[in-house]
Structure 1
Amino acid sequence: MIVAFSVTPIGAGRHVGKAVADAVRVVRESGLPNRTDAMFTSVEGEWDQVMDVVKRAVEAAQRHAERVSVVLKADINEGVTDGMTSKVRTVERLLADEE
């Protein structure tokens, strides 16, 4: 599965970079394939692995604020591995074919 999620500390003020960095650090240290952009962090693996990482990332952000908002989107596709890379590769190939 691939999960794209964002974690936002509530009540920590306007600048939440440190809390977000702590959450992303948990994801990166998990060893699971992951990617972070301006809006979401995506992580790929088995259900229990991914949800454990998301939980620990939320806990890391929660150290900076009592309240945390989480937005999560999941793509559960049994038997698919390397989905984060292969999905993007397919779109890029299709775009290149149009040129």
Structure 2
Amino acid sequence: MNVMIDICIVPLGVGVSVSEYVTACQRVLKEAGLTHQMHAYGTNVEGDWDEVMAAVKRCHEVVHEMGAPRITTSMRLGTRIDREQSMDDKIQSVKVKLG
């Protein structure tokens, strides 16, 4: 089953700037071969459920390996079985309606 997620992984106890941790997670998603789009407060990811969840787990592992003693993650996810739909499809649908 495919899934789309919006995820925000926040390392705690590492100071104010988290860009190096975001970069590490972006690398994990790229290495996993998952379609993803970073935005200002998180990342949208799409792909096979097990592959996406494995990448989320790997992001946590990597961020901990970088020294973060604690991580808080918020995630919204959605699945659809009536038809295939990508993140780009959803965005384009709105853009068309905007004119």
TM-score normalised according to structure 1 size: 0.89
Q: Find 2:42's aligned residue among 40, 43, 50.
A: 40
Matched residues in 1 for 2:5 and 2:22: separation? Answer: 16
Query: What secondary structure, in the 3-state scheme, does the structure 2 residue paired with 1:12 have?
Result: coil
Stretches of structure 2 lacking an aligned partner (at least 5 in a row): none
Count of equivalent residues = 96
Post-superposition CA distance 1:27-51 (Å, at most 9, x none): 1221111111111111111211110
Contact 1:2 1:42 in 2 (8 A): yes
What does residue 62 of structure 2 align with? 60
Pick from 14, 19, 22: which aligns with 2:21?
A: 19
What is the rounded CA distance, in whole Å, between the counterparts of 2:52 and 2:72 in structure 1? 18
Q: Any conservation in 2 of the 1:23–1:57 contact (CA below 8 Å)? A: yes
Unaligned ranges ≥5, structure 1:
none
- Paired residue type of 2:61: E
- Residue identity in the other structure for 2:70: R
